Amino acid sequence: MFATLSDRLTATFKSLRGKGRLTEADVDATVREIRRALLDADVALPVVREFTSRIRERATGAEVQQNLNPAQQVVKIVNEELVAILGGETRRLRFSKNPPTVIMLAGLQGAGKTTLAGKLGRHLKQNGNRPLLVACDLQRPNAVNQLQITGERAGVDVFAPEPGNGVGDPVSVARQGLEHARHHHYDVVVVDTAGRTGVDAEMMQQAIDIRAAVTPDEVLFVLDAMVGQDAVATAEAFRDGVGFDGVVLTKLDGDARGGAALSVRQVTGQPVMFASTGEKLDDFELFHPDRMASRILDMGDVLSLIEQAEKAFDADQAQAMAAKFAADEDFTLDDFLQQLNAVRNMGSLKKMLGMLPGMAQMRQQLDAFDEREFDRIEAMVRSMTPLERRQPRIMNGSRRARVAAGCGQSTSAVNDMLERFGQAQKMMRSLRNGMAGGTGIPGMPGMGGGGASKKQKARVAAAKGKKGKSGNPAKRAQQEQAAAAKPAALPGSAFGLPDPEKGFDPADLNLPKGFDKFLGK
């Protein structure tokens, strides 16, 4: 969603690089470009004015003028101001001291409240809660049925005593749902309410009545981030009519300009708490203002990436893989398939790569990437026998043709996959051998290993007090004679001392005069 804004801001900051000192004209030009980028992104005009005035004030102040790298300091100021308008700190749910905690969802029709109720229920369940979804949207056709299906997919119970489609009293259902949760020991109740295509008095009154009936601990306003400035106007109407404690942004995976996300916190005064980033139930996350600002400025969001990896990768599988690595066992296609599935469980690969710093420069390559390639590779591997997966080297021509026919791919595609897997196997083997030999990672400069150059090896030998053999025959002969003239270590133990069982003469040790009296008999 923020791709266009990110590109504009990144291009603006490129003009500042390499400048040892910023003039007032540089600051004016930078602020002007930032203002244009925000207005093009459909950010509310009052927010743009306040944001740019704060940047101008700080960029022309002492904190930049006295800095060694003022250009980087300006980027830092923009990042901090972005974090401020996005909310400053991460706002989490407030749970009631006396369960159940009641969370009410409000918003316009089409904003995604019902789907969000399932996502929120799944999120709460994964965090150790026992949520109950209450179907109070009795106005929209099939809204109750949709919530039941969504709750079943999320693994969350749904309370729906009325069929909906215009039948039933939503206020009464909300009261019954709260009583049902208390009697059956649910600790969180999520109330899904009805919306309209626009703000009207009937919808507002119904939401006010439901709020009075269940006294929610949190009222979340569900905002469609693709609507633009109309979304901000709607948020203000709900704030003045019903009131809410936080905002949930939906459809952040869309291609809208994203102005609502940057405006709603500043305009309404209420924080953004959650973000829905896709259609799947797992495409739901806490809204972190600092991380979102980093994404907008193309600085990446590595923390979110790590959190997703921790959820997707099984600790037992990782431990088993480490043990296999330590036991000098080869990386097999079964292991590869296991790791591939773990990566797929993290979500969209494009989205994950987009969380890495500097990936905005590769956006075209990311957009061109076909994620169905994972399905093709999995089909190839699953078309092999267990023996072929464990020992890919037995894959001759006829076996490859059979696998290609089994998975619906060409033989060249199977050959290409096996070739890339062979390269991965060699890399894993080299890494293991390098670590086992105590030489670090092979081929990495400064890390030792098989990639060390002759000069590096010569320096290591010199540090150990060893000299390599000369290429000059006369000099080499002198080195060999000098080595032969050196006294050999006394036979016996590993330290060059004679075997104590056979006895030894202290004179052989060449000790200082008078020292033999300390050796005893």
196 annotated binding-site participant: yes
Question: What's CA 24's distance to the chain center, in Å?
Answer: 39
Given a contact cutoff of 8 angstroms between Cβ atoms, the answer to whether 409 and 375 are in contact is no
252 annotated binding-site participant: yes
CB neighbour class for 319 (10 Å; exposed up to 12, middle 13-18, buried from 19): exposed
254 annotated binding-site participant: no
The pair of three-digit structure tokens given for residue 465, joined into one six-digit string:
């007090």
114 annotated binding-site participant: yes
Q: Which residues of 93-155 form beta strands (DSSP E)?
A: 101-106, 131-135
Cα–Cα distances in Å, from 119 out to 108, 110, 250, 259, 265?
18, 16, 11, 24, 22
193 annotated binding-site participant: yes
391 annotated binding-site participant: no
261 annotated binding-site participant: no
Find all residues with CB under 8 Å of 246, minimum gap 6, and list them: 91, 218, 219, 220, 221, 270, 271, 272, 273, 274
Beta bridge partners of 106: 221
112 annotated binding-site participant: yes
**CA-angle at 39, arms to 34 and 41, nearest 5°:** 95
370 annotated binding-site participant: no
195 annotated binding-site participant: yes
22 annotated binding-site participant: no
Distance between CA atoms of 177 and 173, rounded to whole angstroms?
A: 6
Helix (H) or strand (E) holding 489: none
- 88: number of Cβ within 10 Å: 13
Distance between CA atoms of 276 and 150, rounded to whole angstroms?
A: 15
Given a contact cutoff of 8 angstroms between Cβ atoms, the answer to whether 134 and 159 are in contact is yes
197 annotated binding-site participant: no
Name the amino acid, one letter, at 449.
Answer: G
**Strand arrangement of the beta sheet that strand 131-135 belongs to:** 157-159, 131-135, 188-192, 101-106, 218-224, 246-250, 272-276, 284-286
113 annotated binding-site participant: yes
Under DSSP, is residue 495 helix (H, G, I), strand (E, B) or coil? coil
194 annotated binding-site participant: yes
- 248: number of Cβ within 10 Å: 25
CB neighbour class for 178 (10 Å; exposed up to 12, middle 13-18, buried from 19): buried
Q: Could you identify the residue written with the tokens 């102005």?
A: 259
Cα within 13 Å of Cα(95), Cβ side: 13
Binding-site residue ranges: 107-114, 192-196, 250-253
Which residues define the annotated binding site for GTP?
107-114, 192-196, 250-253
